[in-house]
């Protein structure tokens, strides 16, 4: 068998129906458009929905979307941790009791500033600069488990409240 011997199976390819070519074939006279009315004539614009606001105008024009699964963190920098005494164990509860973070939300440590004391810091996330600075000062950076586990977070946002 050679490439010029190949052909599609019998019955899989059919000729395109040529409508409105007289009464001899299946698509004669009204050519599948019915009797009268707007759609029987040639004046219907593409996308016309009978006077209803078309979908192209109903959909919002703003680009992008708001990710309902975004994880937001309350951030604490190293210069804030510098105010604690050496050897202190810092976790989100300690930061909340001092008024350094809001009363809810996940805590992330970022690397702005210098850290000269050995601290044990527990948080939900660390930047790589913060982790290296804490360990260079002789401390430990311990990552807390996220409340939603290792899966994606629960969805939130306006798109879900309208259901």
* Domain boundaries along the sequence of the chain: 73-143
HSE value, Cβ hemisphere, 13 Å, CA-based, for 40: 6
Tokens of 17: 């129906």
Distance CA 125, CA 54 (A): 46
pLDDT in tens, 112-125: 999 999 999 999 99
What rounded mean pLDDT belongs to the chain?
Answer: 87
Among 141, 100, 138, smallest CA distance to 117 is for 138
Topology of the domain comprising 73-143: Ribosomal Protein L15; Chain: K; domain 2 (3.100.10)
C-alpha distance across the termini of the chain, in Å: 59
% of the chain with per-residue pLDDT over 70 = 95
pLDDT over threshold 60, residue 43 = yes
Q: Residue 158 — very low, low, confident or very high, per pLDDT cuts 50/70/90?
A: low
């Amino acid at each position: 068998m050679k490439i010029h011997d190949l052909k599609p199976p019998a019955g899989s390819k059919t000729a395109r129906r040529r409508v409105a070519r007289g009464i001899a074939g299946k698509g004669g006279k009204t050519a599948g458009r019915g009797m009268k009315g707007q759609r029987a004539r040639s004046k219907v614009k593409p996308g016309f929905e009978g006077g209803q606001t078309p979908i192209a105008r109903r959909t919002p024009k703003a680009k992008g979307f708001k990710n309902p699964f975004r994880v937001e963190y309350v951030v604490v920098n190293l210069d804030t941790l510098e105010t604690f005494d050496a050897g202190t164990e810092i976790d989100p509860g300690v930061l909340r009791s001092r008024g350094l973070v809001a009363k809810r939300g996940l805590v992330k440590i970022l690397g702005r500033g210098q850290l000269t004391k050995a601290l044990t810091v527990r948080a939900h996330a660390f930047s790589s600069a913060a982790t290296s600075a804490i360990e260079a000062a002789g401390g430990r950076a311990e990552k807390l488990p996220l409340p939603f586990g290792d899966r994606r977070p629960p969805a939130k946002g306006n798109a879900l409240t309208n259901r």
